[in-house]
Chain A
Amino acid sequence: MKNIQLNTALLAMMLSLGACKKDFITIQPRGQFLSENYYANRGEAYSALVAVYDVLRKNAGGFDNMVTFFNAGSDDNFAGGGGPSDGAGIQGISNYTLNPNIVPGSFWNDHYQGIFRANTLLAKLPGIDMDAAEKSRFTAETKALRAIYYFNLVKMFKNIPLLLAPLTTAGIYDVTQAPPAEVYAQIEKDLSEAIPSLPTTLTLSKEAGRLTKAAGQAMLGKVYLYENKGALAATQLAQVNGTPGQANQYGNKLLSNFSDLWMFTNKFNTESILECYHTNQSNADWGFWGSAADEGNTVNQMVGPRSYSKTAGSPAPDIPSGWSFNVFTQEFYDIIKTDPRFGATVLDVKAYASAGQAIYIEGYQNTGYFINKFIPRRADVRTGGGALELNFQQDDYIIRLADTYLMEAEALGATGTRAQALLDAVRARVGLPSVPVTLAAIKAERRLELAGEGHRFFDLVRWGDAPAKLGSRGFVTGKNEILPIPARELTATKLVQNPNYN
């Protein structure tokens, strides 16, 4: 008996003494990988590529997304929301009180995260053992995505660091801002290098969402246009546009019915050139809303009327409620009221409410005019896991064909038969007659065609029209063309704040 007890005691002692070794307190992570071992094969390279694509969601994913934020900064929409403090950032751009402390840092950070992942993958790809053709496609996609992210950064912040390789811990604080021209040159270079290796078409079942040659060319054309390189822009955009009104070389064509563009099921249609893909299958929940694992479309939720319900038997649409952001201004409403695109663009809840056909809670800056392009549909309401507010699956167009038509027409100097044909094609699609092509006509057309899609603010700045159109909101020339650099980026770094934001 005594021996058994003694042995047990000794056993326990040995057991735990053996556990004293350093190995015992070193455990290998499972369910994740060590950086030094990763990027070893095609599968891992593909996963790393997906992580670069991830940042495209920024266009319409999360509370701070490009579409609603820059809509709020335009003359077409207000910030809206529940109250004057509902989203300091979006309210700040809407009334031009943004400062380095309230500008949403994610517009800066998320794009740099995409760039970091692209830089990491570009550094690793040459050493990965995989099919050469696929490797060159991966390389092209990564460079094109890096260019897209840099383009977003440079048009938002203008003065940004240009990083083409991952930083080391030691080098973090030595970074300086690059001249914008240098950034643009790199964007042109990346896209130009990418275009030859991007596929002309995709096998949608397996590849939907990835970049095509058309996307690369459209992006490069847009970049040239922003640099006022009209001829270069027109050349690239002509590749995408082909014969106005006809299918292009890749099969892209304007949809015949404008409102079909906004059906959430109508993904990757022929008019789509570069599309931000959303799904309800990430089961997005509040805990990771807007983060890398959230694939829902937040614009849908944000722009809907608050606490909306239609009355029994009324003709008002049965739609889920939202948070009443980005209501259209009365001025815009008056302009689009008679346009054939009105119904697809604006949901006139004000009219339904005054006719007793719907009830809703009026949000901040309410006009009663909501962005119908993104109003979620009842059929799109998530019934599975995750928060239903965060799992809308409508995709949003970063670039669509009507946009490239109008961009090429503009790049051509708003003159000539091709420019006229491009403008006419956009109008003809919605049943509008031809008007003589002029820059003013193109501007007017862009405003109506692309309303609520997040383009207007950048167009106004590009055209130099921002002070006139946005002055009443508080826009200050020489300051508000670009955003302030988030305060955190200036802490202990060599970065310099954008002019007039100090």
Chain B
Amino acid sequence: MKKILLLCLAIFTTASIMAQNQAVTGKVTDEKGVGIAKASVIVKGGKTGTSTDENGVFDLSVPSATKAVVISSQGYNVNEVTLTGAPLHITLLRAVANLDEVVVVGYGTQKKSVVTGAISSVKARDLENVPNGRIEQALQGRVAGVTILQNSGQPGSGSTIRVRGITTFNNNNPLWVVDGVVVDAGGIGYLNQSDIESIEVLKDAASAAIYGTRAATGVILVTTKKGKAGKFSVNYNGFYGVSQPAKVLDLVNATQYATLINERSVAGGGSVIYNDLSSLGKGTDWQKAIFNNSAKRYLHEVSMSGGSERSTFYLSVGIQDQQGIVATDISNYNKKNIRLNSTHKISNIFTFGQTLGYTHQESIGLGNTNSEFGGPLSSAINLDPTTPLVVTDPLVANAPPYVSNPVLRDIAGNPYGISSVVGQEMTNPLAYMKTRLGGNNWSDDIVGNAYLEAAPVRGLKIRTTVGAKKAFWGSKGFTPVFYLNPTNSVLRNNYRKEENKGFNWNVENTITYNKKLRDHDITLLIGQGTYVENIGGNVGLTIYDLPISSYKDASFRFDIPVTNRETYGTDFIEHRVTSLFSRLNYSYQDKYLFTGIVRRDGSTRFGSNNKYGVFPSFSGGWNVNKEKFWTSNKVINSLKIRGGYGVTGNDALDDFRYLATVVGGYNYPIGNSGAVTTGYSPLTLDNPDLHWEETSSADVGFDAQLFNAFNLTVNLYNKKTTGILRQVVIPGYVGVSDNPWDNVADMKNTGIEVELGYRKQLGDLNLSVNGNVSYLKNTVTYVAADTNFLTGGASFQSMGAITRIKVGNSYNGFWGYNRLGVFQNEAEIANYKNKNGTLIQPNARPGDFQWEDINGDGVISQGDQDKTFLGSNIPKYTFGLTLNMEYKGLDLTIFAQGAAGNKIFQGLRRLDVLAANFPAKALGRWTGEGSSNDYPRLTSTDPNNNFNWMSDFYLEKGDYVRLKVLQLGYTLPNQWLTKYGVSRLRFYVTGENLLTLTNYTGYDPEVGGGVFGVDKGQYPQARTIFGGLQLQF
């Protein structure tokens, strides 16, 4: 009955339109003024409508009685506009949670509303306002559950990414899959941020299991941009910026230094070393010599995209260059990239597509960016301020070591100062820089894939994909004759290069079948893949005694005798994986969702007894708001509850670990020529039972839309890795030089992830806020039957290991002595007794640390007994917050991120270089009763090992919040531009790393690397101000 009534109504309205009509024209744009194509414009309360053209323009004839039109487009909030007779300008706001948005899930896509796994997405629009950098940086702070710490502020350097904590003792890098091609984590820097359409992080086993044996550490899927049919556009983006250090360390000046050295020497039984303090002044500020306050950075990129119903394309080219803020002459990065992606509909059945990117990168680096063994930073921190930067006094310059040695000189011919008290690897950084000029590291990456897809019948897709990565990379460098100090001198110049090439390829065949039967929606994927990686090798050549003195003249064309040439080279070992995989998605009325995955992988890295592993997972979801009992309300607009469980693997370990091999390298010189004779011996005991590490993870969570403005996602997970591969420490008397591998240890990660989005329009002001917070707890649960810890991880010079893998603690937690304070007087030493009444530290002096007697045996022993867990280097909390505001043409982006709950080891001062410079906090050392309870007395012998022992003295809290991006932009009004054919012109100013809130006293609280939080004078991240413009045709 109702239906008939509606029908009648429809006929009536149509009839009345025919009777009396009015013309309505207008343009539908997004918040940025870009036209939205294919938006639907429908008469309010009616059926009459049209859709916008590629520029967002529409022209519609409506009944004269029409008061308003309703405009909608997928992914945007619906807007209703009252007719005024004038042309309409309609802005659509992006929907707070676009449940119809498509998420890439590996071998396919899914609507967000039916996804059952824990997948986080970052879309191109989220990255638009972020300065183009490396992809890891684009992800930092945007995805809950992913910890990202930059390894160095050296331009172009990578970051360490950990998805849901530390999964294994081995390689923890996630699996990167770019357009279906597996790309090694080290090589991911080739990607150009602007080419990225979306990044999906598969965090839980339920979604990652489709990548089986390589998914345990998380999977990051990168999809590059494609053209869109019917719309041709050209985009230009460019910026120019200036970088500077955000902070320098507070070190003592020459007078303070001499005072401390004198005090230290006398306390150790020596004599006063500097008699005339007043003449020293402030001395040399070595940091000032290496930091650059105006390092330059620029970028230009142009992209073009478009297409027809038959073919689409996306083409981009870009160049960027970035100078480092430390020792700029030897710190630079340059990248050039070009990409072509296209798709072609060959027939009604066949579609062909391809992606192809080529990137050339070139960089020059400091050598050491976080090391106690030299380099500009470590030298600047450790060199004494009493040595001049440049020696101008002719009496000094004409005496040793400046005469009779090939010392380096400035433009005026004055020698760079050489410290007579601080030696070893610590050298004048200005002179050091001159020895590395002209060197570089370079790479050429060509990554692409091609697919052919057939859709012979409705719902069925058969697809074959071939992907490949060809990479060339290498380095070259010239070392002149030099004398930096007595231990750093080169008497023959040399010129060297190394060239590597590598090739990876894979073939994947998939069949997807989708069938809808009334309320049942079933999608079945079956697939097969073959992956071959690491085909290639390297060669290197060094020539000596070139008849030149400058890197500018260096060439391999010089006729160098064979005795002055050295070469080396090797072949890489292939890694092959073959796989079969399948996924079933089932949904009932989009209400009850189920996903099941199983993947079987075989790998070259495992023994004959365990060549294949099987990885299953399943997950379910419940869209509660689709239930009949659900009543529409203003508080909770939608709610999906999810849960899943799955198992993934990790085969990232060395090849042939299961075989008993005899290898060379046990050499001895025999015969009087001094030539080395190669000896062969078994490497280790074999273990044919080696198998995958297995990571099982359980995940529960929900996605909700609240108050029509908030979008909330919460996940809880529990991830457990068992059978972690590690070298089993066997007794030395067995006599093998390498310990055998076995599946031994277990580790656990638990965490909570919250992502919250908010979007609101207040008049002309558009506001959106996106935030995320994650909590992570990592615990080692088992290492071996006979011990509860393993040493290793990070070490610091003569201190040895400073971290330990211990059951019950976090992976590679800091390990050492615990201080109870500083002995203020003899009485405190005399009172520090064990239960038998004997002194615990009988040899201590006032001003020494009081160590905690952890095992309570009444002595502080140098072994293990009195060391304890001192803190975790893994941030317990990571968070990010993005705020976007738009008001008319103005836009503002604020992006902040941070981490908390971790400790940082700050080892800046060399222990064996007694005369190394001091941090300013040494001025607050213990000098008498009550003077300090934190910084001990200075003495050259250090009998209490105040400085020599790893203790909490070296640890600081690593909490920080960083204002990563602050951007202000202005988009010129459309009407000014259209006559020039310009559809959009935007200017912007960006500040990067403008502010870091932290109590950490080092350069930068973000200390990445294989073991987090070990700061030996890390190259800090730059603070940069850019100006740029975006232009669209």
Q: Which of B659, B674, B733 contacts A393 (CB 8 A)?
A: B674
Residues of A within 8 A of B466 (CB): 12
Residues of B within 8 A of A361 (CB): 420-421, 423, 915
Interface residues of A in 1-42 (CB under 8 A from B): 1-2, 5-6, 8-9, 12-13, 15-17, 19-20, 22, 24-27, 29-36, 38
Q: Which residues of B contact A (CB under 8 A)?
A: 346-347, 349-350, 352, 399-401, 403-405, 420-421, 423-424, 452, 454, 462, 464, 466, 485-487, 491-492, 507-509, 528-530, 542, 544, 566, 570-571, 573-574, 576-578, 580, 602-604, 608, 611, 655-656, 659-683, 685-686, 729-737, 740, 785-787, 798-800, 861-864, 911-915, 941-943, 945, 948
Query: A81 vs B421: C-alpha distance in the bound complex, in angstroms?
Result: 15
* Surface stretch bound by B, among A93-101, A327-335, A458-466: A93-101
Residues of B within 8 A of A493 (CB): 731
Q: Which of B611, B669, B912, B941 has the most CB of A within 10 A?
A: B669
Query: A393 vs B673: C-alpha distance in the bound complex, in angstroms?
Result: 12
Secondary structure of the B contact surface, majority rule: loop
CB atoms of A383 and B492 under 8 A apart? yes
CB atoms of B464 and A9 under 8 A apart? yes
Is A435 on the interface with B (CB-CB < 8 A)?
Answer: no
Q: Which of B682, B732, B945 contacts A105 (CB 8 A)?
A: B732
Size class of the A contact interface (CB-based, 8 Å): 35 or more
CB atoms of B571 and A205 under 8 A apart? no
Residues of B within 8 A of A54 (CB): 666-668, 679
Residues of A within 8 A of B421 (CB): 361
Query: A81 vs B798: C-alpha distance in the bound complex, in angstroms?
Result: 11
Is A267 on the interface with B (CB-CB < 8 A)?
Answer: yes
Residues of A within 8 A of B864 (CB): 101, 487
A-B contacts, 29 of them at CB < 8 A, read A6-B454, A9-B452, A13-B507, A17-B509, A17-B528, A26-B604, A50-B668, A52-B679, A82-B424, A83-B798, A112-B732, A115-B735, A116-B736, A117-B681, A119-B735, A169-B740, A209-B670, A277-B670, A279-B669, A281-B669, A283-B566, A293-B665, A309-B405, A321-B486, A359-B401, A361-B420, A383-B544, A487-B864, A488-B729
Closest CB pairs A-B (n = 9)? A116-B735, A82-B912, A51-B679, A50-B679, A492-B786, A51-B666, A109-B732, A307-B423, A85-B948
CB atoms of B667 and A292 under 8 A apart? yes
A378 and chain B: residue at smallest CB distance: B491
Query: A306 vs B910: C-alpha distance in the bound complex, in angstroms?
Result: 15
Nearest CB on B from A98, distance (A): 9
Residues of B within 8 A of A169 (CB): 685, 740
Is A311 on the interface with B (CB-CB < 8 A)?
Answer: yes
CB atoms of B578 and A25 under 8 A apart? yes
Is A436 on the interface with B (CB-CB < 8 A)?
Answer: no
B608 and chain A: residue at smallest CB distance: A26
Residues of A within 8 A of B948 (CB): 83-85
Q: Which residues of A contact B (CB under 8 A)?
A: 1-2, 5-6, 8-9, 12-13, 15-17, 19-20, 22, 24-27, 29-36, 38, 44, 47-54, 56-57, 81-88, 92, 97, 99-102, 105, 108-109, 112-117, 119-120, 160-161, 163, 166-167, 169, 172-173, 175, 204-210, 267-268, 277-283, 291-293, 295, 306-312, 320-321, 359-361, 364, 381, 383-385, 389, 393, 486-489, 491-493, 495
Residues of B within 8 A of A109 (CB): 732, 735
Q: Which of A9, A16, A108, A115 contacts B530 (CB 8 A)?
A: A16
Q: Which of B679, B733, B786, B942 contacts A491 (CB 8 A)?
A: B786
CB atoms of B400 and A311 under 8 A apart? yes
A208 and chain B: residue at smallest CB distance: B672
CB atoms of A209 and B733 under 8 A apart? no
CB atoms of A175 and B731 under 8 A apart? yes
CB atoms of B737 and A292 under 8 A apart? yes
CB atoms of B679 and A205 under 8 A apart? no
Query: A149 vs B454: C-alpha distance in the bound complex, in angstroms?
Result: 70
Query: A383 vs B566: C-alpha distance in the bound complex, in angstroms?
Result: 12
Query: A43 vs B84: C-alpha distance in the bound complex, in angstroms?
Result: 98
Query: A56 vs B421: C-alpha distance in the bound complex, in angstroms?
Result: 37
Query: A83 vs B912: C-alpha distance in the bound complex, in angstroms?
Result: 5
CB atoms of B485 and A113 under 8 A apart? no
Extra contacts besides A205-B671, A205-B672, A306-B486 (4): CB < 8 Å: A278-B669, A292-B737, A293-B667, A295-B676
Nearest CB on A from B347, distance (A): 6
CB atoms of B346 and A2 under 8 A apart? yes
Query: A485 vs B442: C-alpha distance in the bound complex, in angstroms?
Result: 49
Query: A5 vs B660: C-alpha distance in the bound complex, in angstroms?
Result: 46
Nearest CB on A from B385, distance (A): 17
Residues of A within 8 A of B863 (CB): 99-102, 487
Query: A161 vs B734: C-alpha distance in the bound complex, in angstroms?
Result: 10
A308 and chain B: residue at smallest CB distance: B486
B949 and chain A: residue at smallest CB distance: A85
CB atoms of A88 and B800 under 8 A apart? yes
A311 and chain B: residue at smallest CB distance: B400
CB atoms of B662 and A35 under 8 A apart? yes
Residues of A within 8 A of B682 (CB): 35, 120
B578 and chain A: residue at smallest CB distance: A20
CB atoms of A282 and B731 under 8 A apart? no
Residues of B within 8 A of A210 (CB): 670
